[in-house]
Structure formats: C-alpha cells, structure tokens
Amino acid sequence: MQKETGDRVMRLRRIFLALFLMEIGIYLIVSSLNLNNPALLASFTKSQQAITSQDQFAMFLSIFLHNLLVATIEFIPILGLLFFVISSVETSIVISLEGSAYHVSGLAIFASLSLYPHTWLELPAYAIASASGVYLLYLIIKRGDVLRGNIRKILYMYLFVVLELGIAGAFESTEIVMLGSYPSPDNVLYPLALWIPGIPALWMLIILFRRINRNEYVKKTEEEGKEGPGEGDAEATYMQF
C-alpha cells in the first residue's frame, strides 16, 4: 500500500467518522418521530420472526448474510451512499413504529438497543462500507499513482467489514436467544454481560482498522524537510481516530 500522506490523499477514516455521525443522527431524529403504521410494523415483525424462530446457528447465518448483503451494496460508489441513507432511515422508521406499539418514544427503543454490543458493531460496519464506496469513487477519479497505491485498501476494508459483521451476527444471535430463553430480569442482564467479550472484540477491530489505514496516521517528523519528500514520515504514527 502506498505511503501517501493525508495532505495529498483523502482520508478514508474521516469519511467514515462523518458518515457514522450522520448515521447516528438519522437514528436519533427519525426514531424519535411519532409514527404509527400497524400494517407496516406487522409486516416487519413477521419477517423478523422468520429469523428469530430458527436455532441459533441458522439465525446467525440469516443475520450475517443479510447484513453482509446490505454492506456489499454500500461499497458501490454513489449507489452505496444512497442505499446507506435509505437503509438507515427505514430502520429508524421501524424503531419508531415499535415505540408507538409499546406507547413509548422510538428513541427509547433505540436507546435500549444501544445497550447491547451488536449495535456498536453493525452500525460502524455500515458506515465503513459506505465510506469505502466514497473512497473508491475518489480513487477512480484521481487515477494514476493514487489509485494504484490505495486500491488494495478497499479489498482490506471489505474483508474487515465481513469480519465485523460476522462478530456482530454472533453477538446479536446470542442476545436474541438470551432474551427469549431466560426469565426477567436475567433475559436483560445476561445479554448485557456480553460486553465482557464485546469490549475486547471492539478493541481488536479498532486496532485492525488502524492497521489497515496506517498510512493515514502518519506523523511528520521534524526532519521531514531535510530528508526530502516522503522520507521520515512513513513509520511514525500517533493515536488519533
């Protein structure tokens, strides 16, 4: 992977951060709306039950493959970004509808989902996929050395998303089984205990993300000007996200 500094090449991590914040904003705003459509909610519930009624491994596969399909589409330049926004809005609408069904704000439903590890694995994965689509479009436009030097990063990011969604699917399927198998309050407490393996998993993914994007964490040395362009700035990294 070419060692380009952030001054010359767009940084994928910055695109990711912008899209992730936008994604969270969509969920917060749309889920807080007072929407009521029993027919649409019933349709979603029926589809959801078709997945949650399976054994855990089959449930994991269904969740993982569905989420991977969504993320794969989001890797497509332009179309992926549009799909990312529409998908976020649609999911937020369903959350709002669930809130109306329980006579609470959809924002409370979203807050409850945010207590579990799979949420903080899935949502960033979608933002990374969409950011990679934007980054790929940028590379295609720039062409030349920029494209050749950074195109492998797209492949690495796709494999990263596959891994992240696989971990997310494992957590989500386990949470669903726990929620349906244990009496209250254990059906809530046990899924929360999944943060014990969830925190190391998130930390590992952050390290891997930084490793893949290590050319974006380049720190200019004091002697950069003396050593010439591109020298002395390729290895030192600093802890910023």
- What's the pLDDT tens digit per position in 185-232? 988 899 999 999 999 999 999 999 999 999 887 654 334 444 444 444
What is the per-residue pLDDT for 8? 61
What is the per-residue pLDDT for 160? 98
Q: Whole-structure pTM over 0.75, yes or no? A: yes
What is the per-residue pLDDT for 231? 40
So where are the chain's domains? 12-214
Q: List residues bridging with 237 in a β-sheet.
A: 218
Non-local (6+) Cβ contacts of 32 within 8 A are 96, 105, 106, 107
Q: Say if residue 113 is exposed, middle or buried (CB neighbours under 10 Å; 0-12, 13-18, 19+).
A: middle
- Condensed to tens digits (0 to 9), the pLDDT of residues 138-151 reads 999 988 888 887 88
- Residue numbers in the chain where pLDDT is lower than 70: 1-8, 218-241
